[in-house]
């Protein structure tokens, strides 16, 4: 019996060691660099550990502005993704047309494309010398470009809605595929109109997917960098862009590390929110990004 | 189902078409148009040319295309190795330790890529390991950033595998490595391919970490595109963007056509 217990225990213990190699890769290439960021944020280049550098950054108007812009843009973009995603998912799932599945798949492909693509496209469409302004100037004989939202937070927000809506669309379509069509047809035959069916049948079923998609969009938009960099609007600075500016443009690594730590803390908090949402509402797929 | 009247349906389709057209078709269309435009001062571009594509595949831009493809393949292959290894290894765990390790392997996907780049810059600009100014640091950045997605894909695939086949193989005397090579990995192949595809696409588009750490001799497409557009060379930037899109889609489509013995469920 003792031999049996030992024999059973040994492979189990040995088998668990297999997790060490990938864990070491992760520790050495990811957690070690992150720990050095935290270290530099606390000590500067050579000083004793203290929160002086954090205090200095928190007093900076540039940082407070970047923090506000980051949150403002992320919340607005996530809301936009939810609205657009819900609208498109409704039509694809419940007002089907030939090729609906192909359209959904094509939109999904945007997940595989770089985010700055939207920013570059927007400069051609909505920029000072873009198509929209060109058309409006011609049409109304204007002297200056009337459309200028691209160079405000709204430009970034709209670009991010373009980029991140697929992350709402996919879970929504999955949720809608589970809705019993008979429920909707019975409701229709009993006289309920579309708005009521949406409110009482479809929205409750969509809620878990909206929460999961929304929290994921919040995380992704807080971390977004390429769009903000490419649009390059003065006065629209987010935390990731501020890290880049401090480190690469100004060589102020200590400030960059402080801001990066704050950014990472914000992102990890949102990630835990996302994991919690998935675990609570996600059922069998809980925990799978 | 939801809308019965024909006019209501056409209205819904019209709204959806307008939204999809404005949000998804227009951006791709204008970048494509710009990549062939000699000038664009009006509603439509003028002076059509292929000059931007010629510039895009020669000189610095051509090198950037090659750099991105090499980085994408190498980083994705390494990420596939570590991600698959981690996913398989975690099957030995359960309960809280498993959830904690699962969380650890996913964390890189949650952290801003710019901060990852800054971390690598700080960590490898000092002893014991100096990588700053080398192409290796770019590979490391891409590996870290895409590894969570390979782990996630393979993990999800494993969760859907029935343990029956592996147990039958074990009962017939197959050793662990034999089971891994002849049973588990073939069954996982569709998920491995999907994981590699997504990793490659994400690597091709990666900008945040790379712009922090790239050495002069290893400039990726996104970094080069940003440099071009930042100094006003928007049309060559558009051509390079089209090449990036086409390369990414070509790899995705090519990989999706690889036949595997495991049929998707």
Mean pLDDT over the full length of chain B? 86
B156 domain-assigned: yes
**How many domains, chain B?**
1
Is residue B74 assigned to a domain?
Answer: yes
Q: In DSSP terms, which residues pair with B39 in a beta bridge?
A: B46
Residue B212 lies in a domain: yes
What residues of chain A lie within 8 A of the CB of B40, using their CB? 124, 129
CA distance linking residue A61 with residue A71, whole number of Å: 15
Give me the mean pLDDT over the A117-135 stretch. Answer: 84
Q: Which pLDDT score, from 0 to 100, does residue A271 have?
A: 92
In a domain, B139, yes or no: yes
User: Nearest chain B Cα to A135, which residue?
Assistant: B43
CB pairs under 8 A between A and B: 264
What's the pLDDT tens digit per position in B122-181? 988 887 887 888 889 999 999 999 999 999 999 888 888 878 888 888 888 888 888 888
Least confident interval from A96-105, A164-173, B106-115, B219-228: A96-105
- HEC-encoded secondary structure of B24-52: HHHHHHHHHHHHCCCECCCCCCECCCCHH
CA atoms of A76 and A103, how far apart (whole Å): 25
Range of the structural domain that residue B153 is part of: 49-256
Distance from CA of B232 to the nearest CA of A (A): 11
Residue carrying structure tokens 């908090």: A269
- Least confident among A180-184, A201-205, B135-139, B220-224: A180-184
CA–CA separation, A278 and B43 (whole Å)? 45
pLDDT given for residue B262 in this prediction: 59
Q: Is the pLDDT of residue A106 over 90?
A: no
**Secondary structure class of B195 (helix, strand, coil):** helix
Lowest mean pLDDT among A50-54, B95-99, B260-264: B260-264
Q: Which residues of A touch B12 (CB under 8 A)?
A: 90-91, 95
The stretch A92-108 carries a mean pLDDT of: 85
**Lowest model confidence (mean pLDDT) among A228-232, B113-117, B204-208:** A228-232
More confidently predicted of A195 and A260? A260
Residues of B in contact with A125 (CB under 8 A): 26-27, 30
- Does residue B262 fall inside a structural domain? no
Q: Higher pLDDT residue, B259 or B185? A: B185
- Residue B127 falls inside a structural domain: yes
Q: What is the mean pLDDT of residues B179-208?
A: 89
With respect to residue B33, please indicate whether it lies within any of the assigned structural domains.
Answer: no
**CATH code at position B209:** 1.10.3720.10
- ipTM rounded to 2 decimals: 0.84
The answer to whether residue B170 is domain-embedded is: yes
48-77 in chain B: CB under 8 A from chain A: none
- Nearest chain B Cα to A136, which residue? B43
Is residue A27's pLDDT more than 70?
yes
Task: Please determine, for residue B62, whether its predicted confidence score (pLDDT) is greater than 80.
Answer: yes
Instruction: Work out the angle at residue A78's Cα, subtended by the Cα atoms of residues A219 and A280, and round it to the nearest 5 degrees.
Output: 60
Whether B118 contacts A260, CB under 8 Å: yes
A75 φ, ψ (degrees, to nearest 5): -65, -45
Task: Report how far residue B20's alpha carbon sits from residue A110's, in angstroms, rounded to the nearest whole number.
Answer: 12
Chain A partners within 8 Å of B28 (Cβ): 121
Reported as a pLDDT band with limits 50, 70 and 90, residue A13 is low
Q: Say if the Cβ atoms of A260 and B252 lie within 8 Å.
A: no
Of chain B, the percentage scoring pLDDT greater than 70 comes to 96
Indicate the DSSP class of residue A129.
Answer: T
Bridge partner residues of B46 (DSSP): B39
Number of H helices, E strands in chain B: 13, 0
Asked if the model's pLDDT at residue B265 lies above 70, the reply is no
Question: Which residues in chain B touch residue A117, judged by CB atoms under 8 angstroms apart?
Answer: 27, 31, 205, 241, 245
């Amino acid at each position: 019996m003792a031999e049996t217990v030992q024999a059973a225990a040994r492979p189990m213990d040995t088998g668990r060691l297999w997790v060490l190699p990938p864990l070491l890769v992760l520790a050495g290439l990811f957690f070690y660099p992150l720990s050095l960021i935290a270290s530099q944020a606390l000590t500067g280049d050579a000083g004793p550990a203290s929160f002086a550098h954090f205090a200095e950054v928190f007093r900076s108007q540039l940082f407070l502005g970047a923090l506000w812009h980051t949150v403002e843009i992320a919340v607005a973009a996530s809301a936009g993704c939810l609205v657009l995603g819900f609208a498109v998912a409704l039509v694809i799932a419940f007002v089907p047309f030939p090729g609906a599945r192909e359209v959904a798949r094509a939109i999904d492909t945007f997940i595989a494309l770089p985010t700055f693509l939207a920013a570059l496209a927007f400069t051609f469409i909505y920029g000072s010398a873009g198509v929209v302004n060109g058309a409006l100037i011609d049409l109304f004989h204007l002297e200056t470009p009337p459309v200028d939202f691209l160079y405000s937070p709204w430009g970034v927000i709209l670009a991010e809605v373009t980029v991140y809506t697929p992350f709402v669309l996919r879970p929504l379509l999955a949720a809608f595929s589970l809705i019993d069509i008979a429920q909707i047809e019975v409701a229709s035959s009993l006289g309920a109109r579309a708005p009521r069916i949406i409110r009482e049948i479809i929205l409750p079923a969509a809620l878990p997917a909206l929460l999961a998609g929304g929290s994921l969009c919040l995380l992704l938009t807080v971390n977004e960098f390429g769009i903000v960099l490419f649009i390059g609007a003065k006065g629209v600075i987010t935390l990731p862009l501020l890290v880049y500016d401090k480190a690469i443009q100004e060589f102020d690594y200590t400030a960059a590390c402080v801001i990066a730590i704050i950014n990472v803390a914000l992102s990890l908090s949102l990630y835990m929110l996302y994991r919690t949402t998935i675990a609570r509402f996600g059922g069998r797929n809980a925990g799978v990004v | 189902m939801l809308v019965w009247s024909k006019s209501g349906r056409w209205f819904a389709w019209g709204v959806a078409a307008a939204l999809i057209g404005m949000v998804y078709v227009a951006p791709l269309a204008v970048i494509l148009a710009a990549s062939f435009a000699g000038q664009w001062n009006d509603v439509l571009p003028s002076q059509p040319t292929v000059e931007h594509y010629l510039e895009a595949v020669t000189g610095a831009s051509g090198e950037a295309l090659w750099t991105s493809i090499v980085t994408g393949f190498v980083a994705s292959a390494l990420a596939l190795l570590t991600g698959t290894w981690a996913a398989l290894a975690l099957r030995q765990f359960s309960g809280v330790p498993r959830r904690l390790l699962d969380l650890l392997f996913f964390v890189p996907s949650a952290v801003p890529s710019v901060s990852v780049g800054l971390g690598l810059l700080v960590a490898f600009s000092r002893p014991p390991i100096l990588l700053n100014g080398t192409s290796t640091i770019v590979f490391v950045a891409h590996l870290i950033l895409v590894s969570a997605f390979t782990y996630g894909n393979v993990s999800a695939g494993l969760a859907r595998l029935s343990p029956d086949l592996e147990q039958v193989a074990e009962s017939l005397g197959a050793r662990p490595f034999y089971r891994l090579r002849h049973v588990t990995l073939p069954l996982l192949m569709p998920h491995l391919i999907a994981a590699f595809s997504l990793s490659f696409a994400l690597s091709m588009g990666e900008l945040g970490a790379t712009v922090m750490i790239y050495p002069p001799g290893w400039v990726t497409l996104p970094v080069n595109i940003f440099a071009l557009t930042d100094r006003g060379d928007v049309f060559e930037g558009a051509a390079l963007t089209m090449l990036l899109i086409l390369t990414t889609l070509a790899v995705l489509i090519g990989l999706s056509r690889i036949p595997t013995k495991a049929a998707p469920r």
